[in-house]
Structure 1
Amino acid sequence: MLNFDEQRFLRIQSGAVAFASHFDQVIGECIKAGADNVFFLGTGGAAILMQPAAQLLQRRSRFPVFIDMPAELVVTGSANLTSRSIVVMPSLSGTTKESVAMLAKLKEIGATVITLVGHEKTPLGQGGTHAFVNFAEDDTSCESFYMQSLLIALSIMKHNGELADHQRMVDEFFMLPALLLDVKRCFEPSAAAIAENIAAADYHIVTGAGNAWPQAFYYGMCILEEMQWIRTRPVHASDFFHGTLELVEPGVSVLLFKGEDHLRPLADRVEDFAKRYTDKLTVIDTAGLALPGVSADVRQLLSPVLLATVLERVSAHLEVLRDHPLTTRRYYKRVAY
């Protein structure tokens, strides 16, 4: 595979799922002690990666869940954020300005803070009530954060009496690092072709539904915009027909990410429309990616993980085609803002 270290990938993703029993212990202790809600408080891309876990709890659990922006919450506060709250705070660098400021507020409130970071000797790597450090970098962080947050959500459901077969599902997560590597290998030829399609246009509508939507949002904002300086219009498939459809015409690129949860028909609707009005429709469908031994109910949770793992391959080809390294920035962490 192009510019890819297989052993590094396996090490990082194995590190992410290795936290499963520790997550479960911490969550169990919190709920037993009277925790009455959970907040997912990330900033930027890390915040987007928490959305599938938050959505899972919103739709399948009675345990109250909130997802908010630290930059706003540190100013406004929340009536629901108390000493009985569990707060999940991801930050790859461990130094994200808005999250560090939020951490100080959380300590004043007395909430239990679970930090998910890539670097230990940082404010978030050392400042959480429970700090989970799994080294990762931009090209490996999506899968790591997705899996960690989903494991936390599953533990909450277990300890809230809503998930009888928790251990079976966790056991299947332990299969994922090797399976995801196989997915990457198989997808490599498709990744090269998709990268050529993306490189051929300077504007893309990026869309998806359900738990595939966060990866569509993330890929448009954090990869194509931030790392490739390509203009995008991320739009949820539910909103596609309330404005964005009018921008579709021959030559306009539409990137559609399809997952396997119950919201898949919303993506089908976009696909049916777009293929009639543009010749630049690109569809990435997780249903065509093999995960032998993984149950259907777990697969439904993993659509964003699968999308992240194949899109990393697309990005690797894209940076070469465009002669634009993914690490190149003009402003991000380079100028004051």
Structure 2
Amino acid sequence: MLNFDEQRFLRIQSGAVALRHRLDDVIAACLADGAENIFFLGTGGAAILMQPAAQLLQRLSGFPTFIDMPAEIVITGSANLTKKSIVVIPSLSGTTKESVALLAKVKEIGATVLTLVGHEETPLGKGGDHVFINFAEDDTSCESFYLQSLFIALSIMRHRSEIANYEQIIGELEGLPQLLLAVKHSYEQKAEAFARILAGSHYHIITGAGNVWPEAFYYGMCILEEMQWIRTRPVHASDFFHGTLELIEKDVSIILFKGEDQLRPLADRVQNFASSYTDKLAVLDTADFPLPGISPEVRGLVSPIVLATVLERISAHLEVIRNHPLATRRYYKRVAY
């Protein structure tokens, strides 16, 4: 595969899976100690990657779950953020400015802080009450963060007796790293063609629904905009028909991500409409990828992870096609802001 280290990928994703035992122990202790809610408070891309887990809890658990902007919470606070809160702060670098400021505020409140980081010798790597370290880099961090946050959500549901098949789900997730590698291999021959679609327009509407909408948002903002300087309009599939549809013409590029959770019909609706009005509709569907041993329920849970692993292959080809390395920046961490 182009510019890809298989063993590094497996090591990082297996590392995320290996954290699930301690994550479960910490969540159990927090709940036993009277935790009343959970906040997922990441910044930028890391925040977006927490959304599927937060969504899962909000829809299937009675445990109050919040997701907010650290930069805003630092200024305004939240009536629900108390010493009885669990706060999850993800940051690959461990140095994200807004998240470091949040950590200080949350410490004053007395909430229990779980930090998910790639580097220990950092403010967030040292500052959490419970620190979970799994080294990753930009091309491997999505799957790792998705998995860690999913384990947190499943653990909460387990200890609140809100999930009957926890062990079955966990058993299937433990085999996911190898399955993801197989997905990459199976898609490699198609990745360049999809990358050429992305390189072929200066502007894309990028959309999805359910737990793959965050991956659509993330890919548009963090990869196409930040790393490739390609303009995008990320829009949720349910909002597509409240404004965005009027922008659709024959030559307007639409990138549609489809997952396998209950919200898939919202993506079908966009596909049915858009295919009649543009000849630049590209669909990336997790249902196209075999995942032996993964049940339909778990396929629905891991749809954003599968998309992330496929999109990494597309990005690897995109940076070559455009002669624009993913690490190239004009402003991000290069100038004061």
Q: Cα deviations across residues 281-325 of structure 1 (Å, max 9, x unaligned)?
A: 000000111110011111111010000000000000000000000
Equivalenced residue count is 337
1:280 — aligned with what?
280
1:2 — aligned with what?
2
Superposed displacement of residue 171, structure 1: 1.4
2:164 — aligned with what?
164
CA distance in 1, matches of 2:182, 2:99: 35
Superposed displacement of residue 236, structure 1: 0.2
Superposed displacement of residue 160, structure 1: 1.1
Amino acid at match of 1:127: G
SS of 1:277's equivalent? coil
CA distance in 2, matches of 1:202, 1:183: 28
Structure 1: give runs of 5+ residues left out of the alignment. none
CA distance in 1, matches of 2:145, 2:100: 18
Superposed displacement of residue 164, structure 1: 2.1
CA distance in 2, matches of 1:301, 1:126: 31
CA distance in 2, matches of 1:118, 1:27: 20
SS of 1:115's equivalent? strand
1:11 — aligned with what?
11
1:116 — aligned with what?
116
CA distance in 2, matches of 1:131, 1:114: 6
Which TM-score applies when normalising by structure 2? 0.99
* 1:184-263 superposed matches below 5 A: 184-263=184-263
CA distance in 2, matches of 1:334, 1:229: 15
Superposed displacement of residue 173, structure 1: 1.1
CA distance in 2, matches of 1:55, 1:35: 19
Q: Cα deviations across residues 170-225 of structure 1 (Å, max 9, x unaligned)?
A: 11111000000000000112211100111111000000000010000000000000
RMSD after superposition = 0.5
Amino acid at match of 1:164: A
* 1:100-139 superposed matches below 5 A: 100-139=100-139
Q: Percent identity?
A: 74
SS of 1:283's equivalent? strand
Which TM-score applies when normalising by structure 1? 0.99
CA distance in 2, matches of 1:190, 1:266: 26
Q: Cα deviations across residues 16-45 of structure 1 (Å, max 9, x unaligned)?
A: 010111011000000011001000000000
CA distance in 2, matches of 1:295, 1:36: 32
Please say if 1:295 is aligned against 2:295. yes
SS of 1:325's equivalent? coil
1:143 — aligned with what?
143
Q: Cα deviations across residues 87-128 of structure 1 (Å, max 9, x unaligned)?
A: 111000000000000000111111110000011100001100
CA distance in 1, matches of 2:282, 2:39: 35
CA distance in 2, matches of 1:190, 1:54: 32
2:335 — aligned with what?
335
CA distance in 1, matches of 2:302, 2:285: 12
Q: Cα deviations across residues 110-169 of structure 1 (Å, max 9, x unaligned)?
A: 111000001110000110000000000000000000000000000000011101221221
Amino acid at match of 1:22: R
